[in-house]
Structure formats: C-alpha cells, structure tokens
C-alpha cells in the first residue's frame, strides 16, 4: 500500500492541465466521474474553476458538473491536508469503541470531525472501510489500519507527519 510520501506532489492550479485531462478521458462511457477522480488526485481537490472547463469538454452545463462534484463525498472543494485520516464510525467500529477513539483524536488535534488542523491533519469520518473484523479501523493516507487503539493511531499519524 502506498502512502502519500511517495506520491507525485499535488499540482497547482493549471487550466491547461485540467483541459488536457478532460480531453484525454472524454472518450470513455460516462466519463465525468473518472475525470473528476483524476483531477482530485492530480490537484488534491477539484477547484471550482475547473467546472466550466470540464463542462465545455463534455458538452454539459456547468450546473450538471457542479451537481456531480457536490454529490460525492470524495471530491474535495479545497486542497487536502498534509495527512488524511479517515476514521470509521460505522456500526462495527462503534461496537469496538470507535466513537471514543475519534473524540480523543479530534481533541488531541484541536479540530471538529471533518476539519483540518493547523498542523495539516485532516480528520474525516467514513462509514465502513471493509475491515469490520479488525475494528476499529482507519485509513491514513490511503493506507488501511485495523485493531487501532489511541497509542497506535497516534504513532501511525506521527509516522506520516515525519
């Protein structure tokens, strides 16, 4: 599993790059989601300014593109935090104490669930990571972890901060 450490750094705003990605992928059936995923990965978020560009390439209205972006949890409206921590708060993880773990984590970083700390730690809720027999679970920078307790969670986040 890869972490963000080895990934290509997020690109800064570049309309030509947006258009290039959209043009390259527009031939697929139902191309909008794959294009948005590509933008989200390349830039770390989907910039509002990308909406009219993608709309033009796909011959859609800007409203249609905006509607899709705002529907799905994955497409971020602002650049991602330095460390992304997706904590599971679905039933199986709750049965193993996930809510207390999440509460402690948020307090430690001084943020509400769903926000990014001053230190760049983004703590987001997710509902099931498919690791329900190894609860509580979290995904830190695309890497799945299970059987978490407070110490292990802190250590794993610190490793990504370093």
Partner 1 sequence: MSITVYVPADSAALSVGAEETAAAISREAGARGLDMKIVRNGSRGLFWLEPLVEVMTSAGRVAYGPVSGADVPGLIEALSVAGAHPLCLGPTDEIPYLKSQERLTFARIGVIDPLDLADYEAHGGLAGLRRALVMEPAAICDEVTESGLRGRGGAGFPAGIKWKTVREQPGPLKYVCCNADEGDSGTFADRMVMEGDPFMLIEGMIIAGLATGATEGFVYIRSEYPRAVAQMEAAIGVLERAGWLGPDVGGSGRAFRLHVRKGAGAYICGEESSMLESLEGRRGTVRAKPPIAAIAGLFGKPTVVNNVLTLASVPVVLARGAAFYRDFGMGRSRGTQPFQLAGNVKRGGLVEKAFGVTLRELIEDFGGGTATGRPFRTAQLGGPLGAYISEDMLDLPADYEALAEAGAMLGHGGIVVFDESVDMAEMARFAFEFCEIESCGKCTPCRIGAIRGRETVEKVLRGENVAANIALIDDLCELMRDGSLCAMGGLTPMPVLSAIRLFPEDFDRAAPLAAE
71 makes contact with partner 1 (CB under 8 A) = yes
Counting other chains too, the contacts that 140-147 makes at CB distance below 8 Å and 24 or more residues apart are 140/3, 140/83, 140/84, 140/85, 140/86, 141/3, 141/4, 141/5, 141/83, 141/84, 142/1, 142/2, 142/3, 142/4, 142/84, 143/1, 143/2, 143/3, 144/1
Nearer to partner 1, 9 or 130 (CB): 130
Stretch that binds partner 1, among 5-13, 77-85, 105-113, 134-142 (CB under 8 A): 134-142
Segment 110-129, which members bind partner 1 (CB under 8 A)?
126-129
Binding residues for partner 1, how many (CB under 8 A)? Answer: 43
Shortest distance in whole angstroms from residue 128 CB to partner 1? 5
Distance of CA 129 to the CA centre of its chain: 13
61 binds partner 1 (CB under 8 A): no
Going by the DSSP 8-state scheme, the letter that residue 82 receives in this structure is S
- The phi, psi pair for 109, rounded to 5°, reads -100, 5
Asked if residue 31 binds partner 1 (CB under 8 A), the reply is yes
Which of 3, 10, 52, 75 binds partner 1 (CB under 8 A)? It is 75
> From residue 37 to residue 56, what is the string marking binding to partner 1 with x (rule CB under 8 A)?
x-------------------
Q: Is residue 72 a contact point for partner 1 (CB under 8 A)?
A: yes
Q: 128 is written with which tokens?
A: 């099931």
Q: Which of 3, 52, 79, 146 binds partner 1 (CB under 8 A)?
A: 146
3-state SS, residue 116: strand
Count of beta carbons in the 10 Å neighbourhood of residue 100: 11
Residues near partner 1, by CB under 8 A: 1, 28-34, 36-37, 58, 64, 67-68, 71-75, 90-96, 126-135, 137, 139, 142, 144-147
């Amino acid at each position: 599993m890869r972490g963000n450490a080895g990934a290509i750094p997020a690109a800064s705003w570049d309309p030509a790059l947006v258009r290039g990605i959209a043009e390259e992928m527009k031939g697929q059936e139902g191309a909008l989601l794959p294009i948005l995923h590509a933008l989200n990965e390349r830039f770390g978020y989907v910039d509002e300014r990308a909406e009219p560009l993608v709309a033009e390439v796909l011959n859609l209205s800007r409203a249609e593109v905006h509607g899709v972006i705002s529907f799905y949890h994955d497409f971020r409206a602002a650049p991602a935090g330095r460390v992304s921590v997706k904590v599971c708060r679905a039933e199986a993880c709750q049965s193993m104490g996930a809510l207390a773990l999440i509460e402690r984590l948020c307090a430690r970083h001084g943020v509400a669930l769903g926000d990014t700390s001053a230190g760049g730690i983004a703590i987001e809720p997710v509902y099931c990571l498919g690791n329900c027999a190894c609860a509580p679970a979290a995904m830190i920078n695309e890497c799945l972890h299970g059987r978490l307790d407070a110490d292990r969670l802190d250590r794993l986040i610190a490793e990504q901060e370093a």
